Amino acid sequence: MATTTTTHTPDQPASQPAPPLPSATQVALRYERSDAQGVGCIVIDVPGQKVNTLSVALMPKFETVFEEARKDPNLRALILTSGKAAGFIAGADIGDLNGVASADDGARLSRQGQQAMDRIASFGVPTVAAIHGDCLGGGLELALACTARILSTDPKTKLGLPEVQLGLLPGAGGTVRLPELIGLTAALDMMLTGKNIRPDKAVKMGLADMAVPHGQLMAAARQLAADLAAGKGPKEKKQDMQAEVQELLLERNALGRMVVLREARKKVMQQSKGLYPSPLRILDVVGKGTYEAESKAFGALLMTPESRGLRHLFHCITTLKKSDGPGTAGVQARPVTHVGMLGAGLMGSGIATVLADKGVTVRLKDLTHDAIGHSLEYARKVYGKARRRKRYNAGGVHQRMGRLSGGIDYAGFGQADVVIEAVLEKASLKHQMIEDIERVTRKEAIFATNTSALPIGEIAAKAKHPERVIGMHFFSPVEKMPLVEVIITDKTAPEVTKTICQLSRKMGKHVIVVRDCAGFYTTRVLAPYMVEATFMLIEGYAIEDIDEAATRVGFPVGPITLMDEVGIDVGQKVLETMRAHYSGHMEFPPDNISKFLDEGRLGRKANKGFFLYEDGESQLVKGHKVVDETAYDHMPNGRVTRLANLDEMGERMVLALTNEAARCMEEGVLLDPESGDLGAVFGIGFPPFQGGPFRYVDRYGARNVASRLRALELRFGKRFAPTKILSDMADTGGTFYGKGA
C-alpha cells in the first residue's frame, strides 16, 4: 500500500509536514500528493468492504479526487492503486446491477462507467495502474483506461473480464479498449470465456507492461510513472514473424476481422447452442467497436432472464460462503493439517491431489501398492499440467508431491485430523472402515464419507462416536468440479460440520450443507432425471436424441453420456439405493442395466458402454460421439427408434428434477433454496442460466410448473405428480425467494 509523503508546495515550507489525510476507513478514494519526481497517487479503499468494488455511489467520488489531483501543481504522472490487502478491484457492485429497472437505465449506468474511465484516459498526465490481487471486470476496465499497467507477481494477482459469467458484457469501455490493446483474437478469448490471466501471461500478451515482486510494486510503479512523464515509457515487445503476419491478416483489415468474428460465432453456437445471449452480443458489439453499441447492449443484457439467473447464482455463492450449517454460529472449526484418505481410486486420488495442493498432508491407503502408485501418478499429472500453465514451477510440484504418501496399512493415520473414505458403495465395508479408524486414529478424528447415496446415519450406525461421522460428497473429477455437499445427521456435532465446511472451502470448493437421507440432495434429484432418460430409452428414443434433448435445454452433457462417464455399474448401485427408499413416489424402469453389467458394459472406463471408446477415448465422427449400436440389443424395441420430440423430452427431464428438488425442500433435507439452486447447478449440471430449480419455479411461476407436471402425470404416471409444496404455492401464488426475487 502506498504511504502519504511529505511534499513541497509554494504555500508550504519543505520542512513542514503535509496535513494528515483522512483514513482509509473514512473515504473510498484519497489522493496522495506528488513526490519529488512529480508522481502522485490515488488510493482506492472502499470502507467496510474486504475488497474494492465499483459502485454507482463511487463514481462521483472519482471526479472529486481527480479534481484534487489536477490542483496539484507539481503533478507530472499519476498512480492508481488499492489500499486493500486482498486485491485491486473485484468488479462492479452486483447490488447496483440488480437494482436496475430497465434497459435504458442499464445503458445509462454503462455510460456513467465509460465517462469515469474516459476521465482517466484523458487526464492530461500519464497514469499507471499498480495492481496486486484481483483486477476483474470494472477493475480491469479502469486499468485499461490508464497509460500503463504494472502487476505484482503474487499468485493472487489475476486479471479478467468475467461479465459473460453473469450474462453481461464489459460495460465501461472494455469492449473497445481491450481489442485495441491486445488484439481482437486475444480480447475475444478473454471476454467470451471470462478466464483469468496470470501476471506473466498478461505481460507476454501485452495486457500489462511489467510484473515485479509485491514488495517492489509501488517503487516500480513510481519509476514507471516518472519514466512515462519523461517520455521514456516501457520498451515495445518484439513480435515473432508468425504473430506479425497474423496481426496483419486478421487484426488490421476489415475482412480479417470479419473472419475472426465469424469463426468465433460458430464456436459460441457450438458450445452454447445459442442459449446464452451475452457471448453473441459481445461479438456484435466488438464488431461495431463503439461505446454506444457497448452501453446499449449492456442495458439490454441486464434485463434478460439469462442474466438474472446467472446473477442469482452469484447471490447463492455469496450467501452460502457465510453458512456452515445449523448450530455453528458460535463454534470454532478445528485446524486440519493432516488427512487420512481411504481409497486411492479416481475419487480418492482427486481428493488427495486437491488437499495436497492446498497445503494439507495426506496419507493414502488402498489394498495394493500399485493402486497407491497410480494415485501418486494421478497427482503428478495434475500438478504437471498446472506447472505448464505456470501456476507454479518445478519446486511447486515437488513440494506438493512431498505432502502425499501412501501404503496398504494404517501407518500415518494415527495423527489424522480428518479421515475421508472413498471406497466401494457397500455399507458393510464402510462400517468396517469406521471401526478401523476409531481403533487406529486419535479419538477425536472426524470420519467423512464420500458415499454417493447411502444414508450417513446408516453408515454411522455402528460408530462409537456417531457425532464425528459426516458426509462429504465430492463430484468427479474433483480437481475441476466446484462443489462439496456436506451431509449432517441429527447426531453430527456442529464443530464437526464447521470443520468440514472450512476444509472444503480451503480446497477451493463451494459448500452446501444438507440433512441426511438416501441420496442426500444432489444424487436424489439427479435420480429422476436419469430415470426419465432410461424410460425414454425403453420407449424407443435414440441414444443421441436423449442426450440432445438434455443439452438443448442447457445441461452440459446428456444423461446417457453421464452414465458412461460415471460408470454404468456405479449408476446401478445408486439406483438400487434409490429404489429401496423412494418407490413410494418415484417410478423406476424395468432392470435392463444388469444385462449391461453381465457383458462388462460398464461405460468409458471399460471401453464399452452406450458409446464407442478406444483406450478410454470417445470415438468421434464430425465432432459427435459414436453410439455403440449393440447397446440397443438390451432394449425392448431393439434398434427401432421413435421420432424425437426434443422439446417434450427436455421438459420431462427438467421437471422430474425440479419436482424432486421441491420435495427435498418440503421434507427439510434442504436448509434453504440457495443450497438447492447452487447444488443443482454446480453438482449435477442443471442449466446455469436458469439459476437452479427453485429460481426456475419462481421464474415461470409455481402455477405454471404444477400445471405442466400434472399434464405429464396424466401421460406418464405418478412420478410426475407435483409435490405438495408446489401444489400449495400454485394455489397461493407463493414463491421460494419472494415476489421481488
Give the active site residue among 32, 306, 485, 532.
485
d(CA 129, CA 501) in angstroms, rounded, equals: 37
| The one-letter amino acid at 526 | L
d(CA 626, CA 615) in angstroms, rounded, equals: 15
Residue 615: left if φ>0, alpha if ψ -120 to 50, beta else—which one?
A: left
Closest CA to 309 of 694, 682, 683: 694
Q: 526 Cβ partners below 8 Å, 6+ apart?
A: 657, 684
Instruction: Give the angle 101-106-107 at the CA atoms, nearest 5°.
Output: 145
Q: Which residues pair with 339 in a beta bridge?
A: 362, 418
The answer to whether residue 292 is catalytic is no
Q: Do the Cβ atoms of 7 and 43 come closer than 8 Å?
A: no
d(CA 716, CA 719) in angstroms, rounded, equals: 8
Instruction: Give the angle 214-216-219 at the CA atoms, nearest 5°.
Output: 135
- For 686-722, b/e burial (b = at least 16 CB within 10 A) is bbbbbbbbbbbbbbeebbebbebbeebeeeeeebbbb
Cell 458450445 sits at which residue?
271
| Cα dihedral across residues 486, 487, 489, 490: positive or negative | positive
d(CA 399, CA 629) in angstroms, rounded, equals: 48
Q: Do the Cβ atoms of 544 and 627 come closer than 8 Å?
A: yes
Closest CA to 617 of 564, 569, 548, 563: 564
d(CA 482, CA 236) in angstroms, rounded, equals: 39
d(CA 386, CA 379) in angstroms, rounded, equals: 11
d(CA 285, CA 434) in angstroms, rounded, equals: 58
Please, how many CA atoms are within 13 Å of residue 2, restricted to the half-sphere of its CB? Answer: 32
Closest CA to 534 of 505, 560, 552: 560
Q: Do the Cβ atoms of 447 and 468 come closer than 8 Å?
A: yes
The H-or-E segment that residue 415 falls in is none
Q: Do the Cβ atoms of 206 and 234 come closer than 8 Å?
A: no
| The one-letter amino acid at 629 | E
Q: Do the Cβ atoms of 612 and 532 come closer than 8 Å?
A: no
d(CA 248, CA 252) in angstroms, rounded, equals: 5
d(CA 483, CA 475) in angstroms, rounded, equals: 7
**What's the grid cell of residue 488?**
449432517
The DSSP-derived string for 216-280 is: GHHHHHHHHHHHHHTT--PPPPPPPHHHHHHIIIIISSHHHHHHHHHHHHHHHHHHHTT--HHHH
d(CA 177, CA 543) in angstroms, rounded, equals: 46
Q: 22 Cβ partners below 8 Å, 6+ apart?
A: 30
Q: Which residues pair with 510 in a beta bridge?
A: 483
d(CA 194, CA 179) in angstroms, rounded, equals: 15
**What's the grid cell of residue 342?**
481411504
Closest CA to 141 of 98, 189, 100, 191: 191
What distances in angstroms separate CA 447 from CA 33, 466, 470, one per listed residue? 57, 9, 6
- The residues annotated as belonging to the active site are 485
